[in-house]
């Protein structure tokens, strides 16, 4: 039985870069966390320690900083495409690049003052194999809650079931969503919820569609809500071919106030952080092109 080297990659993870644009008295900024992963003809460094085909991860970090200055950061997606294409096209030994970006938003307080927006984090993952590029945008930690219009009943009861059925419950989640664009080289179109086109406008439109579907769906299960959210995005955004969602069920449990002589008509709850249900799913077009895949 032989031993062989399997799939592998390497890169610089979590390079933090803040780019300030000093346009007169009114400044703006982009705040990113950039992770690069490269793969290709790299067997020798694993098998013999020959590093002649290895671009140091420190050089990858420096490229992020240099490109932030020389090219600027128009959007997370645009910056990711720029970096991924550079690493593959400039290094003969590198055949694939993956650039993952977290973008942290700031609220403007004045011409040059900002407050960090901690409600959610924008994400983008770019893959490039020398011929084809792929853009997957996303958002993590988008906390949403419906105080009513949610029920959960009619489920399987087995010997270990103690959960009571309910026709009126709080539905809360922290959305982790990613969506894949049909064409990384095409400028995203203007869509519902976006004032303009481009990657920023597309992100705003998809996020608005996710929120609108969550708030506007009478939910009989979080699974139903998940599908409604993905369906809404694909209906409104012809440039998106796939939506992946992970929705933790942030349970809000009714507090028993009877020991204190008080009723509780669905008004006082304890927010439990764990354990929690986790609902995951993909909503896709039946003619969606295959993804470049994980590597």
pLDDT tens digits for range 98-118: 999 999 999 999 999 999 988
Q: How far apart are the two ends of the chain, measured CA to CA in Å?
A: 25
- Among candidate residues 15, 217, 250, 251, the one labeled active-site is 251
Spatial distance between the Cα atoms of 120 and 276, rounded to a whole number of angstroms:
20
Q: Tell which wins on pLDDT, 196 or 155.
A: 155
- Among candidate residues 45, 57, 121, 284, the one labeled active-site is 57
What are the structure tokens assigned to 192, written together? Answer: 């519902």
Residue 194, pLDDT above cutoff 70:
no
Q: pLDDT tens-digit profile of 16-51?
A: 999 999 988 999 999 999 999 999 999 999 999 999
Cα-based distances in Å from 132 to 68, 144, 190, 198, 235: 23, 35, 24, 20, 25
Residue 216, pLDDT above cutoff 90:
yes
Sign of the dihedral through C-alpha 269, 273, 278, 279: positive
Which residue(s) pair with 240 in the sheet?
A: 181
252 counts as catalytic: no
Residue 191, pLDDT above cutoff 60:
no
250 counts as catalytic: no
46 counts as catalytic: no
- The answer to whether the bond into 275 is cis (omega within 30° of 0) is yes
Q: Are 147 and 171 in contact (CB under 8 A)?
A: no
pLDDT at 137: 98
CA 238 to chain centre: 19
**Per-residue pLDDT band at 294 (split at 50, 70, 90):** low
In this prediction, residues 76-88 reach a mean pLDDT of 98
The model's pTM = 0.93
Burial of 103 (0-12, 13-18, 19+ CB in 10 A): buried
State the fold for domain 142-286: Urate Oxidase (3.10.270)
Q: CB neighbours (10 Å) of residue 221?
A: 17
Q: CB neighbours (10 Å) of residue 162?
A: 5
Residue 165, pLDDT above cutoff 60:
yes
Spatial distance between the Cα atoms of 94 and 60, rounded to a whole number of angstroms:
13
Sign of the dihedral through C-alpha 14, 247, 241, 194: negative
CATH 3.10.270.10 placement within the chain:
9-131, 142-286
State the fold for domain 9-131: Urate Oxidase (3.10.270)
In the predicted model, what is the mean pLDDT of the chain?
A: 95
Spatial distance between the Cα atoms of 243 and 227, rounded to a whole number of angstroms:
10
In this prediction, residues 221-246 reach a mean pLDDT of 98
Cα-based distances in Å from 69 to 18, 66, 95: 10, 5, 26
Nearest to 11 by CA among 134, 100, 76, 128: 100
């Amino acid at each position: 039985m032989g031993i062989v080297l399997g799939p592998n990659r390497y890169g610089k993870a979590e390079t933090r870069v803040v780019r300030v644009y000093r346009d007169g008295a009114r400044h703006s900024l982009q705040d990113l966390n950039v992770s690069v992963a490269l793969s290709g003809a790299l067997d020798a460094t694993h098998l013999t320690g020959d590093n002649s085909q290895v671009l140091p991860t420190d050089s990858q970090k420096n490229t992020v900083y240099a490109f932030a200055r020389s090219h600027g950061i128009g959007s997370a997606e645009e910056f990711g495409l720029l970096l991924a294409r550079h690493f593959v096209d400039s290094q003969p030994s590198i055949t694939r690049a993956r650039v993952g970006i977290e973008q942290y938003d700031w609220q403007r307080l004045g011409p040059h003052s900002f407050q960090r927006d901690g409600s959610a984090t924008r994400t983008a993952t770019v893959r490039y194999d020398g011929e084809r590029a792929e853009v997957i945008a996303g958002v993590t930690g988008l906390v949403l809650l419906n105080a009513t219009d949610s029920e959960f009943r009619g489920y399987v009861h087995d010997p270990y079931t103690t959960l009571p059925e309910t026709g009126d419950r709080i539905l809360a989640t922290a959305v982790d969503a990613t969506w894949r664009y049909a064409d990384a080289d095409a400028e995203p179109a203007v869509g519902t919820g976006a004032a303009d086109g481009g990657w920023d406008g597309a992100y705003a439109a998809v996020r608005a569609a996710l929120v609108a579907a969550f708030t506007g769906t009478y939910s009989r299960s979080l699974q139903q809500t998940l599908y409604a959210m993905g369906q809404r995005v694909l209906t409104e955004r012809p440039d998106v071919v796939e939506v992946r969602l992970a929705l933790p069920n942030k349970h809000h449990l009714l507090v028993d106030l009877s020991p204190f002589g008080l009723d509780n008509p669905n008004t006082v709850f304890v927010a439990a952080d764990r354990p929690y249900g986790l609902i995951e799913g993909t909503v896709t077009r039946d003619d969606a092109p295959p993804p470049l895949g994980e590597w």
